[in-house]
Structure 1
Amino acid sequence: MQLSLEGVSKKVGPQTWLYDMSLAPRSANVTVLLGATQAGKTSLMRIMAGLDVPSSGRVLVDGQDVVGVPVRERNVAMVYQQFINYPSMKVRDNIASPMKLRGDKNIAQRVQALAEKLHIDMFLDRYPTELSGGQQQRVALARALAKGAPLMLLDEPLVNLDYKLREELREELGALFASGDSTVIYATTEPGEALLLGGYTAVMDAGELLQYGPTAEVFHNPKSLRVARAFSDPPMNLMKATRQSTGVQLLGGPLMALTLPSTATPQLTLGMRASAVRTHAQSGDIAIGGRVELAEISGSDTFVHVATGMGNLVAQLTGVHYFDLGAQIQVYANPMQMYVFDAQGMLLLAPTRTKGH
C-alpha cells in the first residue's frame, strides 16, 4: 500500500496545528515521526488514519484520495499511548480477534508466537484488567501486529514500559517491521529510538515537517539547526564562530582549518554531538578548558556538563567515570567531527562519514 500526503495542513480555530506539508512514506517500511511533544506527530497520524480531516490537501492511498473516508472503512491498525483492549476478553482472545475476523488458520500458534516476542505469553489466560499498564500496552501492540493491516500507526507505543523492556522490544519491533509487508508509521520523541528502528525518519517541530529521508542520512546530515536539535540526545553542543579566510574561528577559541562554501555567511554556529567531545586528546583535536558543572551516569555512559568561556558543553563518555564538581577540566574535539551552520541556521558542512558509519 502506498500512502501519500499532498499539501496537508490542519487548523483548529485561529491555531495552526500542521503547516502545509507533503510526505510519501516508503511502502513496506518503517517511517519514524520524530519530534518533541506538540510537534504535530499525533495530529498527522490522525489524518493518516481517517480520524481527522485535513484543513487543506489530499491523503492518497494507492493514488485514491481517501479524505472523508471513515476510519472503519480503512484497513488500518493503530496503537496509541492510551492503549485500548477488550476488557471482557482474555489476552489470548484480544490478540486473536483480528485473525478470527479474517478467518485465519493456525491462530493459536500465531498468537503464541506474537505473545512470546512481546514477552506476554505468561499472561495469555488473564484479563487485561489483571495486568499492569505496560503489559496492557503490549497486548494492544500484539493485537495491532496480528491484524496485519497494510498501514500500521504506532504513536509512542513503548512510552509506558520500563527502560529495559523498551530496549528489548525496540529490537524485536525492528525485526517484526522488517519481516512484514505493512507500511509502518511510528511516532517517538526519542532520537535513539529512531536510530534503532532505522528505515526512514521525518523530523517534525511545532507543526512543521523539517526533513524526511533515510534515518542515518537525516541523522548525519541534518539540513538545519532545528533538525540537529530535534535529532540529538543529549542536545547538540552549539558554539558561536566566525568565518575567516583560512577557516572557522571559535569565538574566544582556536582557529580551525575547515573549508566552507564560498556563499557561507560571516556569522556561524558550530555544532558538536556529545559523543564527539572527549576528555582525552586524540590526533587533530582542539582543546577547550572549562569547569565541571555536573556529571551524571546513565546506563553505561557518563555525561559530563562543562562550563567553558565559549558556552556550556556536554561530553558523552563510554563507561562509568567520576568527576569532582567545580574541578577544572580540558575537553577535546576534532574539527573534522563538527557541523557548521550559517547565520540562518542552515547546514554548511557536516563531518565526513567513514565507510560503515
Structure 2
Amino acid sequence: MTLILEDICVRRRDEIWLDDIDLELSDGMTTLIGPMGAGKTTLMRVAAGLVSPTGGRVIVNGKDVTSISARKRSVAFVYQQFINYPSLSVYENIASPLRQARTRTKGEIDRRVREVAELMGIGDLLGRRPAELSGGQQQRTAIARALARPADVLLLDEPLANLDYKLRERLRADLKDLFRDSPGVVLYSTADPAEALTFAAPTVVLSQGRIERVGDVADMYRHPPTLHVAATLSDPPLNLLPGVVREGRIECLGAWLPAPRAQVSGRQVVLAVRPHQVSIAAGGPGALEFPAEIRLAEVTGGVTFLHLLVAGERHLVAQLPGTRRFEPGEPALAYVDPAHVFVFDESGGRLLAESAPEVDLHG
C-alpha cells in the first residue's frame, strides 16, 4: 500500500494552512509530529478526502483520489475526541462500518467485531453504550471501529491526547504492538515527543504547514538538524541561551565552550540544553558553570524541576531526579556538560562540532 501527497497546498483566504507538502508513505506506521497549529489535522483531513487541497494530488496505490469523496475512499479516521454513536452499544458501534459496506454475512460481521474488540481489550464491554464507558474505553471503541473494516489508509489524529497519563502510557504500548506489522498505511499524529519516541516509527516533523524533516526519530532526537526539530522533540521544553563567538570559543552568560568548527568572531548563536542535562552537582572537567538564583522548585512525581535565574535575566530549568526541597532566593551553581549543548545559528540551523556528541536517548 502507498499513500502519496504530491505538492499539496491548502490556502484559505489569506492564510496558508499547508504549503509544498511532498510525502510518500508505505505499509506500516509513520508518526506525524508538530506543535498545535503546525497543520497536522489539515494534512490528515486532506489525506482522508475531508478537505480539498488548493493544489497538488493525493495518490493511493497509484490511483489519483484527489477528487474522490471520503466515503468512496478506503480510509479510516480516528479523531482526538471520542466519536462514537451514543445510542448504539459498543458491539453495534464496531459493527457499523461493516454493515454499511454490505459485503459480509451476519456471521462474518460477528466474528470480526469480537476479534477486534478482544484485540483492543474491550471484549467484555460489547453490551454497554458509550455513556457507560470510561474515556479510555470510549477511545478503544473508536479505534476498534476504525480497525473493523480493513482500509488502505488508517489515520489517527492525536487519539490519546484527551486521556490521563497512565492510560496514555498503557495504550501507547498496545498501539505500538498493534501497528508494528500492520498492513496498509498508518499515519499517527501527535504533539507529544514521548509518544513519537515510544513508537520509534519513521517520523515527519511538521512546522507551520511545511515539512521540516523526515527521518528516524531517535536519530533526530540525538542529532537535531534544526532548532525547530530539537524543540519539537523535547519535553519539557529546551533551555535556550544566547551566545556569541569570540576567537574560537563561545561566550554564554560568563561561561565558555569551544565553538563548532571555524566560526566568525562576533557571530550570534543560540545554545540549547535539555533540562535533564542541567545539574546542580559539581560538574566534570570542562563543564559550563552558571551562578544562579533559585526562583521555584516544582515537584512532579519523582522529579523536581528547579527554575533558576542566571545573570539576573535568563531562566534555566534543571530536571532533577527525586523529590527535592529548595528555598526561593537561594544561590546555586548550575552545571552543563558541553557535550550536551546544541549550538544553532540565528536562522535555526545546527552548527556541528568536528565530532558531534552522542546523546543518550534516555539519559
Question: TM-score w.r.t. structure 2 length?
Answer: 0.89
One-letter amino acid matched to 1:332: Y
Do the aligned partners of 1:32 and 1:201 also contact (CA within 8 Å) in 2? yes
The match for 2:294 is 292
Query: How far is 1:315 from its partner?
Result: 1.1
One-letter amino acid matched to 1:232: S
Do the aligned partners of 2:41 and 2:157 also contact (CA within 8 Å) in 1? yes
Structure-2 change in CA distance of 1:263 and 1:92 (3 Å): farther
One-letter amino acid matched to 2:185: T
Task: Write the deviation string for residues 270-329 of structure 1: whole angstroms up to 9, x where unpaired.
Answer: 111112111223423222121122222223322111111172111112232222222211
Partner SS state of residue 167, structure 1: helix
The match for 1:277 is 278
The match for 1:72 is 71
Structure-2 change in CA distance of 1:54 and 1:322 (3 Å): same
* Structure 2: distance between partners of 1:291 and 1:114: 55
Please show how residues 242-281 of structure 1 align to structure 2 within 5 Å.
242-250=244-252, 252-261=253-262, 266-281=267-282
Do the aligned partners of 1:118 and 1:169 also contact (CA within 8 Å) in 2? no
* Structure 2: distance between partners of 1:260 and 1:108: 65
Query: How far is 1:220 from its partner?
Result: 2.3
Partner SS state of residue 279, structure 2: coil
Structure-2 change in CA distance of 1:294 and 1:111 (3 Å): farther
User: 2:163 aligned to 157, 161, 178, which one?
Assistant: 161
The match for 1:149 is 151
User: 2:337 aligned to 310, 334, 338, which one?
Assistant: 334
Query: How far is 1:240 from its partner?
Result: 0.9
The match for 1:34 is 33
Structure-2 change in CA distance of 1:74 and 1:275 (3 Å): same
* Structure 2: distance between partners of 1:156 and 1:234: 19
Q: Which runs of 5+ in 1 are unaligned?
A: none
Query: How far is 1:355 from its partner?
Result: 8.6
User: 2:234 aligned to 221, 232, 235, which one?
Assistant: 232
* Structure 2: distance between partners of 1:356 and 1:344: 26
* Segment drifting more, 88-97 vs 257-266: 257-266
The match for 2:185 is 183
One-letter amino acid matched to 1:5: L
Partner SS state of residue 43, structure 1: helix
Partner SS state of residue 6, structure 2: strand
* Structure 2: distance between partners of 1:219 and 1:305: 24
1:319 matched to 2:322? The reply is yes
* Structure 2: distance between partners of 1:331 and 1:354: 20
* Segment drifting more, 215-224 vs 335-344: 215-224
* Segment drifting more, 227-236 vs 116-125: 116-125
* Structure 2: distance between partners of 1:219 and 1:299: 24
Query: How far is 1:116 from its partner?
Result: 4.8
Do the aligned partners of 1:258 and 1:335 also contact (CA within 8 Å) in 2? no
* Structure 2: distance between partners of 1:349 and 1:154: 36
Do the aligned partners of 1:117 and 1:172 also contact (CA within 8 Å) in 2? no
Query: CA RMSD for the aligned pairs?
Result: 2.5
Structure-2 change in CA distance of 1:76 and 1:326 (3 Å): same
